[in-house]
Structure 1
Amino acid sequence: MTAVMEQQTDQEFVRLADPYRRELYAHCYRMLGSVHDAEDLVQETYLRAWKAYDGFEGRSSLRTWLHRIATTACLTALERRRRRPLPTGLGGPADDPSAQLADGPEVPWLEPVPDALVGADDPGSVVATRTGVRLALIAALQYLQPRQRAVLVLRDVLRLSAAEVADILDTSVPAVNSLLQRARAQLSRNAPVEEEIVEPAEGKAILARYVAAFETYDASAITAVFTEDAVFEMPPFRTWVQGGAHIAELISTHCPAERAGDMVLVPTSANGQPAFGLYMRDREGVHRAFGIQVLDLAPTGVRHTAMFFDTALFPHFGLADRL
């Protein structure tokens, strides 16, 4: 009888808790800035919740209870981790795009998150859509102290009440309001301002030009597809450049491509933004995974590209390691 009751409890837990998995994954990603760490913390959250489910008394909603476990796990993890920046957060642009690239292997870099893993129903996507700088927003969150970050995400992204957040963090409502005020002030100094909206037709045309410029390996076309003040950064390298001409020079100097056809861009999406899996042709003629590009568009062209040289990201995006 006991075994049957335990099985029924397990089935009930799975049925009630599983619908929150994507939301919890997005929450852990916003807290940690890493798809790998977010996966680990979601697994840890569900394991902790499953073990403690018998003691769940329903004084708060199951959603709030799960977020309490996830947030506690994230705050514990952040005690052992440094913040995850992008290269633009570590210094100014390079004056000479043809100079040797500055490496940064010791830096735990921010990672992009595939839209498929957080889903369009993620409450945070509403905020991300409004700002138009999704990846930059996640980067700005990394500058907040862990508890400030938790309060801001729980209140402004997930729209939980101050009382619910106080329960999650085991603190008072006035303390939550104070943390939120400081977090908003800090974020306003680091987060980019809202940019112009790019209409779907404009965006489609810009992306077509972008793909053509890279796949034909045309320096003039690459220059033209970027805005005048566009940024191109590429973790794990600290080096980043600004301006279409500098971006084209950087690519012409350091990219292993030699001719048209060496690069192939496969469309995907990350952080609510257009993205591409970039494949590079090797000496055997095989196009192999090379990096993930996440773009931010302006009405006149691409204003920001983050190129992540981490082929371990490809499986998360459902992309093959070769074409």
Structure 2
Amino acid sequence: MTAAAPYEADFARLTEPYRRELLAHCYRMLGSVHDAEDLVQETYLRAWRAYADFEGRSSLRTWLYRIATNTCLTALGHASRRQLPSGLGAPGAQAAAPAADGQVSWLEPLPDALVTERADDPEAVAVSRETLRLALVASLQYLPPRQRAVLLLREVLGIPAADVAAMLDTTVVAVKSSLQRARARIEAVAPAADHVVEPDEPQVKALLDRYVEAFVTADAAGLQRLLRADATLELLPSPVWYAGEDAAAQAMSGLGSPGDWRMVPVGANGQPAAVAYLRDGTVHRAYGVVVLTAGPAADGGGLAIARITVFADPGLTAVFGLPPVYEDAPRAALR
């Protein structure tokens, strides 16, 4: 038995505490929860195989991040950039052309439940939520993969430049140069900063409740009243997006009849969200996920919806731990 053998027996106990944050890291790198979950599994497999040779020259956490980051970089070598419709061009029908061939890879939402940090570390929770917001993750996808990795390792995770250089088999000078270029690129492509709110704040919960109520009762006017004047709407996988309260409201005007929709409130990307189900005969079947971005209301009294991002992908329902049929969901989760 080698000296490392006792530690191999403890592999799961020692490495499992890092799984959630590694998933968040891979998601920031890839923009896809499905790909991130696959690569976290690959990271743990590679770590298990190499664990006997781990010499402790870095912390176990840093070692795992090195494996995860390089696994992501390998995957990104043959992957297209994940986007939101607003990244394709101006709002309106003219934005449809770039995605007409169906070759666009879309950003995916990330369930908060998969990456929530310890409740006893509020600072870590806040940082995690802020750096997982849809707008930021979409902006990160504009960076070349290695610049993206450097930015995340240095500015989100706070790993020293020398350690990042070792992780990426490069020099400290190269890390600093990549970080400078990444910052400049993000500043150029990132939208105006979101008004960051905590999903469990009473005002945020109330806004989500009003949105759900308006949707399930087919109250188009009530839905419009929740929007800011500068609200935007994205309806993936359609490449068309809508800017302005009137355009967004018009796009959502065909809600159907009361009872056609059912919603289950969830959290995604540190933002209020809901899993949507659409009537199909006598049951409601999974439709997708809606993520809301809240912002200050124009009158300064509370919050309004600044952005609605709809992911019309029934397969996302399982990622959020919910069944494909609404009536089969746990009673406590239903609205």
TM over 0.5, yes or no? yes
The 8 Å contact of residues 162 and 176 in structure 1, kept in 2 or not, is answered as yes
1:250-302 superposed Cα distances (whole Å, 9 cap, x missing partner): 1234xxx52111111110000100000011111x1211111100110012210
State the match for 2:133 in structure 1: 134
1:62-109 superposed Cα distances (whole Å, 9 cap, x missing partner): 11111111111100100010110100000111169xx9xx76632111
State the match for 1:154 in structure 2: 153
Distance 1:219 1:141 in 2: 34
The 8 Å contact of residues 276 and 289 in structure 2, kept in 1 or not, is answered as yes
1:160-200 superposed Cα distances (whole Å, 9 cap, x missing partner): 11111111111111111111111111111122233445583
Where does 1:1-323 land on structure 2 (aligned, <5 Å)? 2=1, 8-94=6-92, 105-121=102-118, 125-127=125-127, 129=129, 134-196=133-195, 200-253=201-254, 257-282=255-280, 284-300=281-297, 301-323=304-326
SS of the equivalent of 1:192 reads coil
Paired amino acid for 1:258? G
The 8 Å contact of residues 230 and 304 in structure 1, kept in 2 or not, is answered as yes
The 8 Å contact of residues 111 and 320 in structure 2, kept in 1 or not, is answered as yes
1:115-144 superposed Cα distances (whole Å, 9 cap, x missing partner): 11111349875345557x811000000000
Paired amino acid for 1:78? L
1:224-261 superposed Cα distances (whole Å, 9 cap, x missing partner): 111111011011110111122222221234xxx52111
Paired amino acid for 1:158? L
Paired amino acid for 2:161? A
Of 10-19 and 163-172, more deviation after overlay is shown by 10-19
Paired amino acid for 1:147? R
Distance 1:215 1:38 in 2: 32
- Residues 196/70 of structure 1: CA separation in 2 closer, same or farther (3 Å cut): closer
Structure 1 unmatched ranges of 5 or more: none
- Percent of counterpart pairs with the same letter? 53
The 8 Å contact of residues 205 and 272 in structure 2, kept in 1 or not, is answered as no
Paired amino acid for 1:116? A
SS of the equivalent of 1:234 reads strand
- Residues 140/125 of structure 1: CA separation in 2 closer, same or farther (3 Å cut): farther
The 8 Å contact of residues 225 and 244 in structure 1, kept in 2 or not, is answered as no
SS of the equivalent of 2:58 reads coil
SS of the equivalent of 2:10 reads helix
State the shift of 1:6 in Å. Answer: 8.0
- Residues 39/95 of structure 1: CA separation in 2 closer, same or farther (3 Å cut): closer
- The TM-score normalised by the length of structure 1 is 0.90
State the shift of 1:7 in Å. Answer: 6.5
- Residues 287/299 of structure 1: CA separation in 2 closer, same or farther (3 Å cut): same
- Residues 129/66 of structure 1: CA separation in 2 closer, same or farther (3 Å cut): closer
Distance 2:206 2:35 in 1: 35
State the match for 2:332 in structure 1: none
Distance 1:113 1:263 in 2: 22
The 8 Å contact of residues 153 and 159 in structure 2, kept in 1 or not, is answered as yes
Distance 2:86 2:101 in 1: 13
Distance 1:207 1:310 in 2: 20
Paired amino acid for 2:15? A
Paired amino acid for 1:113? L
Distance 1:218 1:19 in 2: 45
Distance 2:197 2:70 in 1: 38
- Residues 242/224 of structure 1: CA separation in 2 closer, same or farther (3 Å cut): same
The 8 Å contact of residues 78 and 146 in structure 1, kept in 2 or not, is answered as yes
The 8 Å contact of residues 294 and 307 in structure 2, kept in 1 or not, is answered as yes
The 8 Å contact of residues 288 and 315 in structure 2, kept in 1 or not, is answered as no
- Residues 195/85 of structure 1: CA separation in 2 closer, same or farther (3 Å cut): closer
Distance 2:222 2:73 in 1: 45
